[in-house]
Amino acid sequence: MADNAVALNALALEREWTTPDRGTVGIIMLIITETALFSMFVAAYVIYTGKSLTGPYPKDVLEVPIIATICLLSSSFTVYMAEHSLVHNNVARFKVWLFITILLGAEFLTATGLEWRKLIYEDHLTIATNLFGTTFYSLVGLHASHVTVGLFFLLLTLFLTLRGFPIETQTRRIIFLSWYWHFVDAVWVVVFTVVYLIGR
Amino acid sequence: MATVDYPLERPREKVREFSFSETLYKWVATVDHKRLGLMYIVSALLFLVIAGIMATVIRLQLAVPNNHLVSPETFNRLFTMHGTTMVFLVGMPFVAGFANYLVPLMIGARDMAFPRLNAFGFWIFLFGGFLLYYSYLGGGGLSGAGSAPDVGWFAYAPLTESAFSHGSASDYWALGILVSGFGSIASAINVIATAFSLRCPGMTLSRMPMFVWVMVVDSWIILLALPPLSAAQIMLELDRQLGAHFFDTQAGGSAVFWQHLFWIFGHPEVYILIFPAFAILSEVIPIFSRKPLFGRPAMVGAVVAIGFISMGVWAHHMFAVGMTSWGNTFFAASSMLVGIPTGIKIFNWTATMYGGKLRFDTPLLFCCAFLFQFLTAGLTGIMLAVAPFDWQLHDSYFVVAHFHFTLVLGLVFGLFAGIYYWYPKAIGRMYNEKLGKWHFWLFTIGVNVTFIPQHFLGFLGMPRRIYTYSPGRGWELFNLISTLGLLFQIPAILIFVWNMVHSAIKGQPAGDDPWDAWTLEWSTTSPPPEYNYEKLPVVRSSRPLWDLKHPQDPDWKFE
């Protein structure tokens, strides 16, 4: 008795039928839920600003990471250019822009690593030292882990493309990756403002 | 237009006996939303039985004063594991299970938007559950034997800090719930993407079944409310494992911060849990009243409004902490605001039944009881939203009675209604109606006998989470009655389990559409084939099957 389903299929449709792309909806939802996660760590940082009982304090040890920030923010532009090249079917230019994006992202991570190295070895600030260390390492670390994930996928894309994988078939996914990367950048704007401008 | 140029008879699946290992492989490796949905629901039912046994021990311990059935330490673990299991391993998988099974069928899709993500969500949830229960073996950490977490289901800091909670039990709590939360988020993303992107031709948002609407709003709440809990648990683990100071008051950290984080998750969570019941009632009541849902747009509006308001009420769990009077006022007012959209929903369900041709089968019986009981729960909720009233009854048995009224006499009744209603669709056979009615009456009597007296215990000052009490405080009678409710509840659950298992083997074949229903899932076979619909259906109103059955009087003429 499945004729009901059959009869339903035969109905006429009043107008053309389109629905949003599932991947688009999915990545937007992922970004929303990640935003909720980051807001809590940002809130923790803001609430505990100036509540550390012992040093070192932000104003003594933090240096504004200007170059790293420029690198990360401009990588948003380069990843857009990569995406743009791919949409216009220019795989050669896509590879170049992708490579530049990876370099910029890697420079950012390296800068974060060096900053942490200095903080840990020279300023003796660890996650267990005081509230500043606790909130600083967890917020910046959460962001850096997202950069790492993004970098991994960018590298994977580059690796596959160089191995001859027809990346132009995956334009949709590259666009999603680029959105994720923009999101990570946007989070850095907030983290930078809270940690290095307000919190210092 | 109705020219049919393909055979009406559906090709049946080949009947071949599968060996046990083949069957197991099919279930473990599946990405089919129906199998995953059933696995979610079955694991939720198993955890329900486990947590129910814990509740039984708790009630037996409290039946008489100065009882020594279990030690205080065991009692702490019992109520912690009971609460944690019920919320995260029973309620959440029921949400995901019902959404998984029904959303694609109801919107005329072949599967969820991301089938593999769906399978990942289920298995990571189950892994989280096992991780939590592994604490019974490994919770002592290196220092020795196991012990379950004993910090309460909301695990207030600083009790959970390593200074006060030795061993690894609290770590198992945090990590187990953290990973099962990832599963919930995965399934929420999936539900939203499915409902937005995979609707069959003609299924506009305004024609989407009410069930799907509610589950979409539910998934939105999950997306926004689960991450705060994940954040809190990550911070707790940083504290415990790396010596961070988020909740370490001696280093300037704040224990109240944990409470905020937890309840920013925790209060939306209770709406996350109750929404499946709302969704089920909105489908079951119209079918068994033979009337379309009353005030459908208002119902959608109400559910969206509850979703919004739920984000701004969390601190009514914290009146006793000592917030500013502005804080108290704000959260008392916003909490009372929830009463308006919820009132709209109760009113509309009742109005749907009013003047209808009621058919009192088991699903409708559970819905009717839900209406009465959930109304009671809502009223005690509004009482507790009044800050001074809450100061008096905070952490008393009144609170215990209130949330058991919402979750047991509300949510669980809705879930039972849904299970009975869709059982013939999922299994292909009818359940035994007589046993269903026995289950209903025994369970209704049992839970009311158990939970009504707890309101009075709260008024009489009995605090929650005490493992025993001395005689002469006037608590003996109500505690004894509360425990006696088990005499009805336990047989009810046994009858339910027997009914489900026995009917799956011996029940009458159900046919495609045993309830003469109106939504798409009843147009395919019972159980539906793996691909759900050979050809995607086309709909022109919110009740496609009604249109089909009443060509002279279709809904789309009026919508």
The pLDDT, as a whole number, for residue B542 is 86
The pLDDT, as a whole number, for residue B279 is 96
Does B245 sit within 8 Å of A130, measured CB to CB?
Answer: yes
Range of the domain at A132: 18-48+65-198
B86 DSSP 8-state letter: I
User: Using an 8 Å Cβ cutoff, are B417 and B284 in contact?
Assistant: yes
Residue of A nearest to B113 (CA): A22
Contacts of A48 in chain B (CB under 8 A): 246, 252-254
Alpha helices in B200-338 (DSSP H): 210-242, 255-289, 296-310, 325-337
Q: How many CB pairs under 8 A join A and B?
A: 168
User: Using an 8 Å Cβ cutoff, are A124 and A117 in contact?
Assistant: no
For residue A3, the distance in angstroms to the closest alpha carbon of chain B comes to 6
Is residue A60, in this structure, part of any structural domain at all? no
Contacts of B192 in chain A (CB under 8 A): 25, 29
User: Using an 8 Å Cβ cutoff, are B352 and B285 in contact?
Assistant: yes
| Model confidence at B13: pLDDT above 70 | no
- Nearest by CB to residue B243, choosing from A26, A33, A128, is A128
User: Using an 8 Å Cβ cutoff, are A100 and A9 in contact?
Assistant: no
Residue linked to tokens 């940083």: B238
Which tens digits make up the pLDDT trace of B48-105?
A: 999 999 999 999 999 999 999 999 989 999 999 999 999 999 999 999 999 999 999 9
- The contacts of residue B559 (CB under 8 Å, 6+ apart) are B206, B207, B541, B542
Quickly state the pLDDT bin for B163 (edges 50, 70, 90): confident
| Dist. CA B400–CA B381, nearest whole Å | 11
| Model confidence at B512: pLDDT above 80 | yes
Contacts of A29 in chain B (CB under 8 A): 188-189, 192-193, 223
- Nearest by CB to residue A20, choosing from B196, B224, B257, is B196
For residue B2, the distance in angstroms to the closest alpha carbon of chain A comes to 5
| Model confidence at B46: pLDDT above 90 | yes
CA distances from A136 to A33, A148, A192, B259 (A): 22, 18, 11, 21
CA distances from B480 to A39, A50, B62, B65, B514 (A): 47, 53, 8, 9, 43
Does B534 sit within 8 Å of A5, measured CB to CB?
Answer: yes
Contacts of A134 in chain B (CB under 8 A): 238, 244-246, 253
Which tens digits make up the pLDDT trace of B216-272?
A: 999 999 999 999 999 999 999 999 999 999 999 888 999 999 999 999 999 999 999
For residue B114, the distance in angstroms to the closest alpha carbon of chain A comes to 8
Does B540 sit within 8 Å of A52, measured CB to CB?
Answer: no
| Model confidence at A15: pLDDT above 90 | no
A193 DSSP 8-state letter: I
Residue of B nearest to A24 (CA): B193
- Nearest by CB to residue A41, choosing from B202, B231, B539, is B231
The domains of chain B are located at: 28-557
- Nearest by CB to residue A3, choosing from B8, B185, B193, is B8
- The contacts of residue B11 (CB under 8 Å, 6+ apart) are none
Which tens digits make up the pLDDT trace of B203-231?
A: 999 899 999 999 999 999 999 999 999 99
For residue B491, the distance in angstroms to the closest alpha carbon of chain A comes to 37
For residue B350, the distance in angstroms to the closest alpha carbon of chain A comes to 30
Does B198 sit within 8 Å of A4, measured CB to CB?
Answer: no
Q: Closest Cα partner for A40 from A189, A167, A187, A160?
A: A187
Q: Is cis: bond before B158, omega within 30 of 0?
A: yes
Does B534 sit within 8 Å of A138, measured CB to CB?
Answer: no
User: Using an 8 Å Cβ cutoff, are B386 and B333 in contact?
Assistant: no
* ipTM greater than cut 0.90: yes
Q: What does pLDDT average to over chain B?
A: 91
The pLDDT, as a whole number, for residue B555 is 81
* Gyration radius (Cα) of chain A, Å: 22
CATH number at residue A133: 1.20.120.80
Contacts of A130 in chain B (CB under 8 A): 245, 251-252
Residues A150-165 as b or e (16 or more Cβ within 10 Å = b)? bbeebeebbeebeeee
B501 DSSP 8-state letter: H
User: Using an 8 Å Cβ cutoff, are B104 and B198 in contact?
Assistant: yes
Residue linked to tokens 């224990």: B255
Contacts of B546 in chain A (CB under 8 A): none
| Dist. CA B257–CA B434, nearest whole Å | 52
Distance of CA B243 to the CA centre of its chain: 36
For B465, phi then psi, to 5°, come to 70, 15
| Dist. CA A48–CA B343, nearest whole Å | 40
For residue B87, the distance in angstroms to the closest alpha carbon of chain A comes to 21
| Dist. CA B286–CA B299, nearest whole Å | 13
Does A25 sit within 8 Å of B113, measured CB to CB?
Answer: yes
Classify domain B28-557 at the CATH superfamily level: Cytochrome c oxidase-like, subunit I domain (1.20.210.10)
Does A2 sit within 8 Å of B512, measured CB to CB?
Answer: yes
CA distances from B148 to B51, B52, B188 (A): 13, 16, 29
| Dist. CA A139–CA A131, nearest whole Å | 12
Which tens digits make up the pLDDT trace of B449-493?
A: 999 999 999 999 999 999 999 999 999 999 999 999 999 999 999
Does A17 sit within 8 Å of B201, measured CB to CB?
Answer: yes
Quickly state the pLDDT bin for B3 (edges 50, 70, 90): very low
| Model confidence at B8: pLDDT above 50 | no
| Model confidence at A82: pLDDT above 70 | yes
| Model confidence at A155: pLDDT above 60 | yes
| Dist. CA B485–CA B403, nearest whole Å | 17
Structure tokens at B115: 């089938």
Residue of A nearest to B112 (CA): A22
User: Using an 8 Å Cβ cutoff, are B391 and B319 in contact?
Assistant: yes
Residue of A nearest to B185 (CA): A33
| Dist. CA A131–CA A134, nearest whole Å | 5
| Dist. CA B169–CA B159, nearest whole Å | 12
Which tens digits make up the pLDDT trace of B307-349?
A: 999 999 999 999 999 889 999 999 999 999 999 999 999 999 9
Structure tokens at B405: 């009224």
| Dist. CA B109–CA B102, nearest whole Å | 10
| Dist. CA B104–CA A22, nearest whole Å | 13
CA distances from B427 to B106, B164, B424, B438, B468 (A): 17, 49, 5, 21, 45
Is residue A56, in this structure, part of any structural domain at all? no
Does A10 sit within 8 Å of B2, measured CB to CB?
Answer: yes
- Nearest by CB to residue A37, choosing from B196, B230, B540, is B230
Domains contained in chain A, number: 1
Contacts of A40 in chain B (CB under 8 A): 227-228, 231-232, 261, 264
Does B188 sit within 8 Å of A29, measured CB to CB?
Answer: yes
SS3 state of residue B429: strand
Quickly state the pLDDT bin for A2 (edges 50, 70, 90): low
SS3 state of residue B182: helix
Quickly state the pLDDT bin for B6 (edges 50, 70, 90): very low
Q: Is cis: bond before B292, omega within 30 of 0?
A: no
- Nearest by CB to residue A10, choosing from B4, B113, B544, is B4
Amino acid present at A82: A
Which tens digits make up the pLDDT trace of B174-211?
A: 999 999 999 999 999 999 999 999 999 989 998 999 99
Which tens digits make up the pLDDT trace of B93-135?
A: 999 999 999 999 999 999 999 999 999 999 999 999 999 999 8
Q: How long a stretch of residues is chain B?
A: 559
User: Using an 8 Å Cβ cutoff, are B503 and B427 in contact?
Assistant: yes
- The contacts of residue B184 (CB under 8 Å, 6+ apart) are B92, B95, B96, B121, B125, B222, B226
Residue of B nearest to A28 (CA): B189
Residue of B nearest to A18 (CA): B201
Does A13 sit within 8 Å of B538, measured CB to CB?
Answer: yes
Amino acid present at B12: R
For residue B181, the distance in angstroms to the closest alpha carbon of chain A comes to 12
